[in-house]
Chains A and B, each alone.
Chain A
């Protein structure tokens, strides 16, 4: 076991905290606690991931995994019944969080307010969900705490009492943020309410955290504050220095809000540190930064999650306490590194399927972490929700769509449908961006192609698709898409202006000065054209576009990067160097500019300078395979072969298909390091790397026998693992629903509801006919007429289709038989007793029958392989759920057996139903002719 460095660890999340905003405040003595913290610990930037959206990022922080693995893919997700959207939940996370792993290893863990964490997980400590502090503008006297907010239940009342409502706050709380608050007409300007709301909400989280620290023992505690991000989104535009164009009176009123927010967090930090004690190792981090300076955007993009444009790519990290160095800077950290770091502090193995690395440079002692393949497969109570609670809403939506198409559940209303569609669309876009950042173009490309084909008006989809084509060197396709994007953009601008003119005319305003441009242009458009020309190796032409954009946006860093790249391609090294310096003058933390400089210096044969620039680039942005490659090249030229090897190994660890890095390694092993085994390994990998045109296919993967590359500290870097494993072929279609009886014995038979259930097309209609013939009373309304798929009728009750929304009709079903498909069973009210006859049929046959029915309905077919996976997962969850319901008796019946041995089945039914049942009449119903979708054996 690895040496344990920390006795206790406190992880504090400050959403959007940014050193660029904090540093001046520390220098002025306005954040004394944090100042002392970093002087006695370490600090550094924490590179964010793309897309920089908080629920995705905080889940990556708490799991050490990217979103393609943890599956939290945005702010919202489809509801389980498909009839709307809901916030992402703790059950959306498909992998273990660091607190689950720690609990599994016997550590007492508390989690407060993490995003997302509702419903609260059943940890061995306290879990307070992210619903705890939200007021949703609810008046104080109506503010209830949602069920599932606090675990364990014994603390519900205590913690509910500690919540602070904005209406409790007074001028004493607001004046430190807005000294002239009295001047504000709150009828016109409701920003004071915003400040009160943010302040009250973070006070609620802080109150819960401090109470738990005082009263409940712990080894690990994570507490998350969203408030800095909220103060910034509301008020960073008023933060000094004043910018032209902003109403001066608003600036004068609100220029202290962001500073006030940071100072409040410094005070809260002081209390947390006091309660944590000196024996606790404390980590403070943010998921992304927030531009506090000239890089603040003047306009936000008009697109979902557009405010994320205000985020900067570097969050902050600081560590202090036992096991941590004092007064040092750390470099190259990403938010994926925090979970491996915490595990290493506790002496627990990290896992190969994690995407981050422990921040060993922060530790006082050299440690070599133990590595296991994955924590996901390690059994034991970890406080994670059981499998039947965890669902993948994105894939479940596919199955729901199929059920709507088959007519088994009610379609959502138009608004809900639109919201669900938009949520799915955005989640696919976010997932594509995750793949792009991981250089996994094989997975990104089909998603982007699908999105752009379905939503050609969304130019942002086209831009990412063009970027993907460019990287894959599919330049004509990049040109085609870019031209289409530009044409769409111009058309949209023309329509926008036409609309404005029409509105002005309708309002009786003079529109003589308003003109519709024939050929709308923008600096961003020139930039786009210039970058495409660069990809097409037309550097001279690219420069023309960039120079055209320069007068309008001389301070746009990307513009100078483009100019520098054009000069680089033209081999004008000094000009390229100057352009990169201009980009750095605007944004000194531009990893791309430092990386560009490294390449320029390599060409100029200034290898020492190239090394320094490349080190800065990877220090700012560690997941940067190309920069690691160039760092390797610079080090190689300086004769530092062992370090060059490490850089190139990091490059191929981050981008396994980077052929040139493998080639360099082969050369290095052959001529300098004399290691034929490793040389052979990389030769083998190169053989598997596909040529450019076939890069649309699966990305190359390193062979399993290859030793994982090592960091300079000699620690193995866990390569990114695959996504959540799907069910094996053997597991598919073999879900066992177990027979059971009621727990209670004194149930009035006349009040029992008999349910015929199963997946659609598993013989439920036949069973309904059979029971009817046997003398049972059915609850049907004949609204769904017989058709080719069910010539003897469906025997359904229309209200069943809306069971997820309305179960008030269930009383009508007492003493009767009603058909309810398997997916709707969890919506049955627990106020009744149910006898469920559950039909099971080979999944291949079910799917074949469904596909045939969809064909007859002339409806879109879905991917049967995917549906097979989803149905199996749904049945696994259902089986677990059914087993836990005391008010349900269950008789599983095999569809084959009903057809082959009807009399035996009728006897089983008679016993199960415990009521008069005419078996002979019942079995006459079984019509083997209907068994049309029999599996071909």
Chain B
């Protein structure tokens, strides 16, 4: 028997499958969207992705805290 793929419905009634990689729309759904995505990710046997690399020690381009930038500039 084929296991049914989890889906969610958009406001305009479109039914979308939940991809294990997630999507912005699921984040925008809040708690239910995140839980559904994590469940699907687990079912698919995927761990978190590493496509986006965390900053190295050298934070040349990293934006740590936009507001306090410059606080040590004087």
Please give the residue numbers on chain A whose beta carbons come within 8 Å of chain B beta carbons, in ascending order: 53-54, 75-76, 136-137, 139-140, 162, 164-174, 176, 186-194, 196, 199, 203, 206-211, 214, 229-230, 233-234, 264, 267-268, 270-271, 275, 300-308, 422, 426, 458
Contact = CB atoms under 8 A, between A and B. Distances in A.
Contacts of A458: 74
B28 A172 contact: no
Given A206-B28, A305-B68, A422-B71, A194 B62 contact: yes
Contact of B28 (A53, A166, A229, A267): A267
Contacts of B43: none
A168 B73 contact: no
12 contacts: A76-B68, A76-B71, A164-B27, A166-B54, A167-B52, A170-B21, A172-B24, A176-B24, A203-B34, A208-B31, A234-B63, A267-B24
Contacts of B66: 229-230, 233-234, 307
A172 B23 contact: yes
B3 to A, nearest CB: 22
Nearest to B20: A170
Given A176-B24, A188-B61, 6 more contacts: A170-B52, A172-B24, A192-B52, A199-B27, A206-B28, A268-B30
A184 B44 CA distance: 28
B31 A307 contact: no
A191 B53 CA distance: 10
Interface in B19-74: 19, 21-25, 27-32, 34, 48-56, 59-64, 66-74
Which among A172, A193, A229 has the highest number of chain B CB atoms within 10 Å? A172
Given A210-B31, A230-B66, A171 B51 contact: yes
B17 interface: no
A455 to B, nearest CB: 9
Contacts of A167: 48-50, 52, 54
Contact of A211 (B31, B50, B53): B31
A194 B63 contact: yes
A37 B11 CA distance: 16
B67 A196 contact: no
A388 B48 CA distance: 44
A303 B68 CA distance: 10
Which among B32, B50, B52, B74 has the highest number of chain A CB atoms within 10 Å? B52
- What 10 A-B pairs come out closest when comparing CB atoms? A210-B30, A267-B28, A233-B66, A306-B70, A211-B31, A170-B49, A203-B27, A170-B21, A190-B61, A186-B53
Contact of A190 (B21, B23, B62): B62
Contacts of A301: 70
B20 to A, nearest CB: 9
A139 B56 CA distance: 12
A85 to B, nearest CB: 10
Contacts of A422: 71, 74
Nearest to A177: B24
Given A75-B67, A190-B62, A305-B67, A137 B31 contact: no
Contacts of A264: 24, 27-28
Given A196-B52, A210-B31, A234-B66, A75 B71 contact: yes
Contacts of B50: 167
Contacts of B31: 162, 207-208, 210-211, 214
A300 B63 CA distance: 15
A422 B34 CA distance: 41
A620 B17 CA distance: 47
A593 B14 CA distance: 50
B55 A137 contact: yes
A463 to B, nearest CB: 15
A169 B51 CA distance: 8
A187 B48 CA distance: 20
A267 B25 contact: yes
A305 B29 contact: no
Given A164-B34, A302-B70, A173 B54 contact: no
A652 to B, nearest CB: 36
A165 B52 CA distance: 12
A206 B55 contact: no
A330 B9 CA distance: 36
A426 B72 CA distance: 11
A854 to B, nearest CB: 30
B63 to A, nearest CB: 5
B35 to A, nearest CB: 8
